[in-house]
C-alpha cells in the first residue's frame, strides 16, 4: 500500500490496522466468543456512545442494515415518502425499497456535496401546502463533510419528519463541536472495509432514544420474544455484529483520532500540491466543521482545466493509481428512472467533474506526491 516502488498500486482507501486489533481478536478466540453478540460487541457499543455523544448505539452487520432498522423503527410502511440526498451510495437508499417506501431525491449544494438545506426547506413548505410532507428525510455526510445539525433539527421539528443522518462516511467528523449524526433521530455509521476505520464489515445505529435502540437489538437478532423456545410476535433480521468483528472495531477506535489527523494531512498536502491548478478545486470546510476527510475529492472544470475528470482518472489508472468518480446521483440511476427528483443539476455537475483521490491513512507523503504529480502534469500540459 505504500508507494516506494513505482510498481505498487495506490488504492483509494485501504484498511489500516493499528496494531491492537490482533490482540483483541486473540482475546475473542481465547474466550471462544465467536458469535454474533458478546462482550466485545458491548464494549464496541459503549465506545461508540462515548465517541459520538449519542446516548445509545447498537452494533450491526453493516451500515445498510442500520438504515433498514432505522426506517423500520420510524415506522415506514409501503407508500410512505422518504426524501434523501441524491448524491450518495446505494446502501444509503436501497433499504427504503425494502420497506416499500417511495424515495424522493433532493439536490445538493455545490461545495461539500451535502443536501441543499435551502432547497429542502422550500420543497418542504410546498409539500406542507399540498399535505404531502415526507415521513423521513435522510441526510448524507458525504466524504466526511458534516451537515448542519442545528438547521436539520429545526426543519425536522417544524415539519414533523424523522431525521435520519447517514454518517457512514463521517465517523470521527464534527460540526460545531458535535459528532456527525448527533442531533438526528437516528444516525447510521459504517465500518466497511474502505471506510476510515473498519471491522472488515460492520455498522451501527445510534439514537438518543434508548427504547428504540433496544428494539433495534431485538429486531437485529431475529425478533425472539423472551421464552425458552423460539417465540415470535413479529419478524426481524439477522443483522447483529459478530463479536470477532467488534474486537477489530474496539482496536480501530483507539486509533481513530490519528486516522482522521492523517487523512486531514493528506488532504492538506493535496491542496498544497494541486489546489492552485487552473480549473481544479478541493472541497472547503464550512465554518465550525471538522471533516474527517475520508476521501479527498477534486472538481475539474474542463472549460478552465483543458481536460476532464475521465482523462485524469484514466491517466491515474495507467500510472497504477486508483481514483473514482464521485457517487453517481440516485436520480440518474436507471433503477430510479421514475422516482421524483427535487432539482438535481448541481449533483449532475458534481458527478461529471468530480474525482475521489487515494486518501488512505497508510499512504506516505511520497504516495500523495505521486498522485498529485500525475494530475499536475495533465493539467499543465493540457
Ligand atoms: C458505506 C455507506 C453506506 C453503507 O454502509 P455498509 O456498511 O457498506 O452497508 C451507506 N451510506 C453511505 C453514504 C456509505 O458510504
Identify the residue whose cell numbers are 493528506: 266
Question: Are the CB atoms for 136 and 161 separated by under 8 Å?
Answer: yes
What is the rounded CA–CA span in Å between residue 367 and residue 351?
25
Nearest CA residue ID for atom 5, ligand 1: 63
* Closest atom of ligand 1 to CA, residue 203: 7
Instruction: Look at phi and psi of residue 290 and say left if phi exceeds 0, alpha if psi is from -120 to 50, else beta.
Output: beta
Question: Are the CB atoms for 87 and 140 separated by under 8 Å?
Answer: yes
For ligand 1, the distance from its centroid to the CA atom of residue 260, given in whole angstroms, is 18
Domain 256-381 CATH class label: alpha beta
For ligand 1, the distance from its centroid to the CA atom of residue 136, given in whole angstroms, is 18
Question: Hey, which of 59, 169, 245 would you mutate to test ligand 1's pocket, going by the most ligand atoms within 8 Å of its Cβ?
Answer: 169
Please report, in tens digits, the pLDDT of each residue of the chain (382 residues total). 444 444 589 999 999 999 899 999 999 999 998 888 889 999 999 999 999 999 999 999 999 999 999 999 999 999 999 999 999 999 999 999 999 999 999 999 999 999 999 999 999 999 999 999 999 999 999 999 999 999 999 999 999 999 999 999 999 999 999 999 999 999 999 999 999 999 999 999 999 999 999 999 999 999 999 999 999 999 999 999 999 999 999 999 999 999 999 999 999 999 999 999 999 999 999 999 999 999 999 999 999 999 999 999 999 999 999 999 999 999 999 999 999 999 999 999 999 999 999 999 999 999 999 999 999 999 976 5
Q: Alpha carbon 5 to chain centroid distance?
A: 32
**β-sheet bridge partners, residue 274:** none
For ligand 1, the distance from its centroid to the CA atom of residue 5, given in whole angstroms, is 32
What contacts 70, CB < 8 A, 6 or more positions away?
A: 164, 186, 188, 205, 207, 216
Question: Measured between alpha carbons, how far is residue 221 from residues 58, 77, 228 in Å?
Answer: 11, 21, 15
Question: Are the CB atoms for 208 and 160 separated by under 8 Å?
Answer: no
For ligand 1, the distance from its centroid to the CA atom of residue 89, given in whole angstroms, is 6
Pairing verdict, β 102-106 and 340-342: parallel
* Closest atom of ligand 1 to CA, residue 202: 7
Nearest CA residue ID for atom 11, ligand 1: 92
Identify the residue whose cell numbers are 446505494: 90
Any residues with Cβ below 6 Å from ligand 1, and which? 62-64, 88-89, 91-92, 140, 166, 168-169, 190, 192, 203
SS3 label, residue 280? strand
Q: What is the pLDDT of residue 303?
A: 94
What is the rounded CA–CA span in Å between residue 93 and residue 105?
10
Question: Hey, which of 140, 192, 347 would you mutate to test ligand 1's pocket, going by the most ligand atoms within 8 Å of its Cβ?
Answer: 192
Residue of 181, 185, 150 whose CA lies nearest to 167: 181
What is the rounded CA–CA span in Å between residue 175 and residue 212?
25
* Closest atom of ligand 1 to CA, residue 192: 7
Q: What would the CATH number be for the domain defined by 20-253? A: 3.40.640.10
Element (H, E) at 372: helix 365-381
* Closest atom of ligand 1 to CA, residue 201: 7
∠ Cα 270 275 279 (to 5°):
135
For ligand 1, the distance from its centroid to the CA atom of residue 195, given in whole angstroms, is 9
* Active site residue ranges: 195
Residue of 250, 190, 208, 266 whose CA lies nearest to 22: 250
Domain-wise residue ranges, the chain: 20-253, 256-381
* Closest atom of ligand 1 to CA, residue 191: 7
Nearest CA residue ID for atom 10, ligand 1: 92
Burial of 165 (0-12, 13-18, 19+ CB in 10 A): buried
pTM for the full predicted model: 0.96
Element (H, E) at 303: helix 302-305
For ligand 1, the distance from its centroid to the CA atom of residue 201, given in whole angstroms, is 10
CB atoms within 10 A of CB 78: 8
Amino acid at each position: 500500500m505504500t508507494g516506494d516502488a513505482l510498481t505498487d498500486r495506490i488504492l483509494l482507501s485501504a484498511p489500516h490496522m493499528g496494531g491492537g486489533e490482533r490482540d483483541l481478536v486473540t482475546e475473542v478466540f481465547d474466550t471462544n466468543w465467536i458469535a454474533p453478540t458478546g462482550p466485545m460487541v458491548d464494549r464496541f457499543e459503549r465506545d461508540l456512545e462515548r465517541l459520538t455523544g449519542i446516548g445509545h448505539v447498537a452494533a450491526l452487520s453493516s451500515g445498510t442494515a442500520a438504515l433498514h432498522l432505522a426506517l423500520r423503527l420510524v415506522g415506514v410502511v409501503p407508500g410512505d415518502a422518504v426524501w434523501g440526498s441524491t448524491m450518495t451510495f446505494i446502501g444509503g437508499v436501497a433499504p427504503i425499497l425494502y420497506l416499500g417506501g417511495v424515495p424522493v431525491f433532493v439536490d445538493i449544494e455545490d461545495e461539500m456535496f451535502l443536501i441543499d438545506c435551502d432547497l429542502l426547506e422550500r420543497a418542504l413548505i410546498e409539500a406542507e401546502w399540498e399535505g404531502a410532507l415526507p415521513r423521513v428525510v435522510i441526510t448524507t455526510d458525504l466524504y466526511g463533510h458534516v451537515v448542519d445539525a442545528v438547521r436539520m433539527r429545526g426543519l425536522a421539528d417544524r415539519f414533523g419528519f424523522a431525521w435520519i443522518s447517514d454518517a457512514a462516511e463521517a465517523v470521527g467528523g464534527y460540526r460545531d463541536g458535535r459528532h456527525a449524526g448527533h442531533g438526528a433521530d437516528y444516525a447510521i455509521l459504517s465500518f466497511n472495509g474502505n471506510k476510515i476505520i473498519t471491522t472488515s464489515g460492520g455498522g451501527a445505529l445510534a439514537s438518543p432514544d434508548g427504547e428504540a435502540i433496544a428494539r433495534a437489538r431485538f429486531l437485529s437478532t431475529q425478533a425472539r420474544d423472551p421464552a425458552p423456545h423460539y417465540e415470535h410476535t413479529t419478524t426481524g433480521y439477522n443483522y447483529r455484529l459478530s463479536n470477532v468483528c467488534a474486537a477489530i472495531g474496539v482496536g480501530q477506535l483507539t486509533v481513530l483520532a490519528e486516522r482522521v489527523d492523517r487523512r486531514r494531512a493528506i488532504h492538506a498536502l493535496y491542496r498544497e500540491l494541486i489546489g492552485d491548478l487552473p480549473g481544479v478545486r478541493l472541497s472547503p470546510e464550512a465554518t465550525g466543521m471538522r471533516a474527517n476527510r475520508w476521501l479527498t475529492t477534486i472538481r475539474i472544470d474542463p472549460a478552465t482545466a483543458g481536460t476532464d475528470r475521465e482523462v485524469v482518472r484514466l491517466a491515474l489508472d495507467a500510472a497504477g493509481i486508483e481514483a473514482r468518480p464521485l457517487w453517481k446521483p440516485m436520480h440518474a440511476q436507471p433503477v430510479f428512472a421514475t422516482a421524483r427528483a427535487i432539482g438535481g443539476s448541481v449533483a449532475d455537475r458534481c458527478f461529471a467533474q468530480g474525482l475521489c483521490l487515494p486518501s488512505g491513512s497508510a499512504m506516505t507523503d511520497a504516495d500523495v506526491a505521486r498522485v498529485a504529480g500525475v494530475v499536475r502534469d495533465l493539467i499543465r500540459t493540457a
